[in-house]
Structure 1
Amino acid sequence: MKLTTLALSMTIGFVTIPALAIADEPMPPMSGMASGQSVDAVDSTGVITAIDPESRKVTLSHEPIPELKWPRMTMGFPVDPGVNMEAVSKGDSVAFTLTPTKSGQKVTRIEKQ
C-alpha cells in the first residue's frame, strides 16, 4: 500500500511540475488574428451568402483583409442602421466597409458590384 501511494505521489508530481512551468510562459501571438493595434474602417469585397434584414445581419464570403490580418473566409456581421440592405441580396458580389466596434466589426457600407 505504501509503495502504491509513493508511486502515485511521484506520478502526480512529474505531471504537475511541467504544467506549472508552462503556465508562466508568455502566450505566443495567434496568427491570422488582428493585433492589439486599433484599425480604422477597412474596405473589402466578397459575396453575400446569407442576409437577414430583420435582424440586420449579413454573412459574407470575403477576400483576405490584410489590415485585420484575416485570410479569405466566410463570416457574419451586424449591419449599421444607415445601410440600405434592400439594395443587395444573397449571391451578390459586393464591395463593403467594416468599422470596428467594441464587440468586433460591423458593416457600415455595402454596394453591389
Structure 2
Amino acid sequence: MKLKNLMMTVVFGLSLGAGLAAAESNMGSMTGMDAKESTAPIQSQGVITAMDTDKRKITLKHEPIPELNWPSMTMGFPVAPEVNLEGVSKGDTVIFTLTPSGSGQQVTGIRKQ
C-alpha cells in the first residue's frame, strides 16, 4: 500500500512539474488572455514591483494592454541590454515599451513618469 501511494505521488509530482513549466512558458493559456501577438513595439504604463539589474529582469504591475489582449496584472519581463535601468527603481511609476522577443515580450524602453 505504501509503495502504491509513493508511486502515485511521484507520478502526480512529475505531471504537476511539467504542467507548471508549460504554463510558465505559454502565456496564451493564462485566464483572460488570448494568444494575440503584436510585431510592433507597444507602450504601456505600470509600477515597478521588483528589479534584478544583474539578471536584467523587471517585474511590472501594468495596466491593461489591449494590443496583446492582456488584462491588468503583475508580471516579469526580460530587459534588453541597451536599456539603462539606472534612472528607475522599485515603486516608480513608469512608461515602458514592449517588443516581441523569442516566445514573449521584452522591455526595450523605460522611463520614470
TM-score normalised according to structure 1 size: 0.69
Hey, what does 2:58 align to over in structure 1?
58
Counterpart CA distance in 1 for 2:90 and 2:43 is 19
User: Does the residue aligned with 1:67 lie in a helix, a strand or coil?
Assistant: helix
Counterpart CA distance in 1 for 2:52 and 2:79 is 10
Counterpart CA distance in 2 for 1:104 and 1:37 is 9
Counterpart CA distance in 1 for 2:65 and 2:112 is 19
Hey, what does 2:88 align to over in structure 1?
88
Which 4+ runs in 1 deviate beyond 4 A? Answer: none
Larger Rg: 1
Hey, what does 1:72 align to over in structure 2?
72
Hey, what does 2:112 align to over in structure 1?
112
TM-superposed deviation, 1:32: 3.0
TM-superposed deviation, 1:31: 6.2
Counterpart CA distance in 1 for 2:112 and 2:98 is 15
TM-superposed deviation, 1:34: 3.9
Counterpart CA distance in 1 for 2:41 and 2:34 is 13
TM-superposed deviation, 1:101: 1.1
Counterpart CA distance in 1 for 2:95 and 2:43 is 7
Counterpart CA distance in 1 for 2:30 and 2:58 is 26
TM-score normalised according to structure 2 size: 0.69
- Number of matched pairs: 85
CA contact (8 A) 1:42 1:99 kept: yes
- Percent identity over paired residues: 64
**Equivalent residues in 2 for 1:38-53, closer than 5 Å:** 38-53=38-53
| Aligned Cα root-mean-square deviation (Å) | 1.8
CA contact (8 A) 1:39 1:68 kept: no
Counterpart CA distance in 2 for 1:41 and 1:74 is 19
